[in-house]
Amino acid sequence: MSYETLLVETNGRVGVVTLHRPKALNALNSQLIEELNRALDALEADPGIGCIVLAGSERAFAAGADVKEMQFLTFPATYRDDFITSWERLSRCRKPVIAAVAGYALGGGCEMAMMCDIILAADTARFGQPEIQLGIMPGAGGSQRLTRAVGKAKAMEMCLTGRTMDAAEAERAGLVARVVPAADLMAEAMKTADRIADMPLAAAMMVKESVNRAFETTLAEGIRFERRLFQALFATADQKEGMGAFVEKRQPGFARE
Ligand code: CAA
């Protein structure tokens, strides 16, 4: 499969997608979104892949939706075509996705990172929703996911003023799982991704589904949902192997069914 705005490779059981529009700081245009969706379809369909890493460049994870593409859009066209719908593919990915963020993650770039399951940040990372400075507002979930991640006070301030957060603040606020030196970002992302990809696939996918359900439902319903998934995992060979290996004091050899 050929891509012009992405680099896609597989490394063992990990699919690595690197956004690659260097001249535009990885601004997210429609071609990139179409290619990203195609890459995600292929990696999800590949039973050998257990985790996906989404990365940008050293300078920018992504500096937002492509302003040059949006500049002359009108309300009727934006409403009718609802181009942001096509961005949602990433949030529907069922396999775990790690965002490896260095440099700018602004606007749609920050929103895309937040659609991933774990954000690992380089110490150079900057997160923000500066859309208001363009006369618009976050359009790919930023006002919702940022608020859930960092709370109303910071989300409101960032969306209303366009102020960006550095990596340390983002970690304190709970937006990112971990901050690492920029030079180590991809190695750390791969280490985490390898570890996840080595887990039983059904369990990893169900963990993702269950944690995400916490944002969509009540506590009682969420706990009921978790209980069903927990029970279902007893139907897998990997549960027999995992518990058998523990009891027999050996390393498990998962089938990752
Ligand atoms: N869209 C299109 N092109 C972009 C871009 C974007 N979002 N961000 C950067 N670029 C382009 C610049 O136009 C420039 O191209 P040229 O060399 O052809 O002029 C190139 O990338 C390099 O950018 P700068 O010269 O501006 O680099 P800088 O280091 O001076 O500044 C920056 C970096 C602060 C990130 C600045 O580029 C910037 O503010 N970018 C826009 C950020 C933004 O507003 N993002 C939100 C977009 S709207 C959105 O995302 C909507 C949504 O919610 C879905």
| 196-207 per-position pLDDT tens digit | 999 999 999 999
Distance 176 CA to ligand 1 centre (A): 22
55: left (phi over 0), alpha (psi -120 to 50) or beta: beta
pTM for this prediction: 0.97
Whole-angstrom distance, CA of residue 245 vs CA of residue 207: 21
Mean pLDDT of 110-118: 98
Among 20, 67, 81, 115, which is best to mutate for testing ligand 1, by the most ligand atoms less than 8 A from CB?
67
Distance 24 CA to ligand 1 centre (A): 7
Question: Catalytic residues, which ones?
Answer: 65, 108, 111, 131
Mean pLDDT of 75-88: 96
| Nearest-CA residue for atom 4 of ligand 1 | 24
Place of tokens 């439902």: 217
pLDDT at 23: 97
**Predicted confidence band at 174 (pLDDT cuts at 50, 70, 90)?**
very high
Mean pLDDT of 84-111: 98
Is the CA virtual torsion 84, 85, 89, 91 positive or negative?
positive
Mean pLDDT of 214-237: 98
| Nearest-CA residue for atom 13 of ligand 1 | 24
Mean pLDDT of 176-194: 98
pLDDT at 218: 98
Mean pLDDT of 165-193: 98
pLDDT at 38: 98
pLDDT at 165: 98
For the cut 90, the answer to whether the pLDDT of residue 52 exceeds it is yes
Neighbouring residues of 222: CB distance < 8 A, sequence distance ≥ 6: 210, 213, 214
Cα-based angle 99, 29, 143 (whole degrees, multiple of 5): 55
pLDDT at 257: 83
pLDDT at 1: 77
Burial of 34 (0-12, 13-18, 19+ CB in 10 A): middle
**Predicted confidence band at 56 (pLDDT cuts at 50, 70, 90)?**
very high
Phi, psi of 4 (to 5 degrees): -100, -25
| Nearest-CA residue for atom 39 of ligand 1 | 63
Q: What is the mean pLDDT of the chain?
A: 97
Which residues sit with their C-beta closer than 6 Å to ligand 1? 24-25, 27, 63-68, 104, 106-108, 111, 130-131, 134, 138-140, 142
